[in-house]
Homo-oligomer: A and B are copies of this chain.
């Protein structure tokens, strides 16, 4: 059984840089990564899964501050489940609005493309 990855391995698997991984830990986005005997970070599968989820939140435009809040709720345990759900639901609505805006804007862009094709 694989025990865990070093920071470079975690960077490779998560798509984040080692710098960013340390930064995320510093600001509390990822909690107290385990260290080996020499003080080097060792990322567990759970850490990697959490990073993957964080990445999805970032990609969908959640601000770092909100992600920190969410991470904090996670650490506070099961009593925060409802609060976490509410956060994610609010986020979902924002993302849906954003997607619908993108689709609208895209229509305008496509109309321009069509116009240009007719001009050529």
Contacts and interface: CB of A to CB of B under 8 A. Distances in A.
Interface in A74-88: 78, 81-82, 84-85, 88
Contacts of A120: 81-82, 85
Given A85-B120, A119-B81, A56 B109 contact: yes
B112 A88 contact: yes
A20 interface: no
A53 B110 CA distance: 12
Interface in A54-86: 56-57, 59-60, 78, 81-82, 84-85
Contact of A59 (B82, B101, B119): B101
Given A85-B117, A116-B81, A106 B102 contact: no
